[in-house]
Amino acid sequence: MKYLAVVLSVLAVGGVGSWLTNQGLSWYNQANIPSFAPGGGVIGTVWTVIYILSAISLILWLSQKSKGQSHSAVVWWFVVNGILNAGWSYLFFFKQQVGLAIVEMLVLEVTVLVLISLMWKRVRWSAILLIPYALWVAFATYLAYSFWVLNK
């Protein structure tokens, strides 16, 4: 049952983020977009892979036999991360608050790095599966910053 909750939660975060993104796509597409920005199909595929890897990461974490203090901390950080993940789409696409979205993305990146560090010693594969997420958020933050500079 807890694994189903993980999958449903990840689907909810992805669904909300996708819906919020779609609300602002016409605004985004009319703006000056950095030349290195990947197309929507690439972005959608990358996020799908990241959501799948995140779900597997958390399921591996929850599969541990012994549960220490860090067990619930990881779950809490995943919840915060999911809220921030959808919140990025809300700020950037839905509200078109690019500067605020960039700050929020930096906090999102911190949550991914905290998750990786909390998981590293006990379930290394859970941590490794989040590395693409950390790399993508760093890239997306730079992309958003470049978008902001082009559209000031």
Domain with residue 37: its CATH number is 1.20.1260.100
What's the total number of domains in the chain? 1
pLDDT at 60: 93
What's the first-to-final CA gap in the chain, in angstroms?
Answer: 48
User: Is residue 67 pLDDT above 80, yes or no?
Assistant: no
Kindly report the pTM of this predicted structure: 0.93
Tell me what the mean pLDDT of segment 83-106 comes to: 97
The angle at the Cα of 59, spanning 78 to 89, to the nearest 5 degrees, equals 35
| Residue 151: band (very low, low, confident or very high) from pLDDT cuts 50, 70, 90 | very high
Domain that holds residue 42: 2-150
| Residue 90: band (very low, low, confident or very high) from pLDDT cuts 50, 70, 90 | very high
- The whole-angstrom separation of Cα 113 and Cα 21 is 24
Q: In angstroms, what is the C-alpha Rg of the chain? A: 16
**Average pLDDT over all residues of the chain:** 93
| Residue 14: band (very low, low, confident or very high) from pLDDT cuts 50, 70, 90 | very high
pLDDT at 107: 98
User: Is residue 48 pLDDT above 80, yes or no?
Assistant: yes
Tell me what the mean pLDDT of segment 114-121 comes to: 95
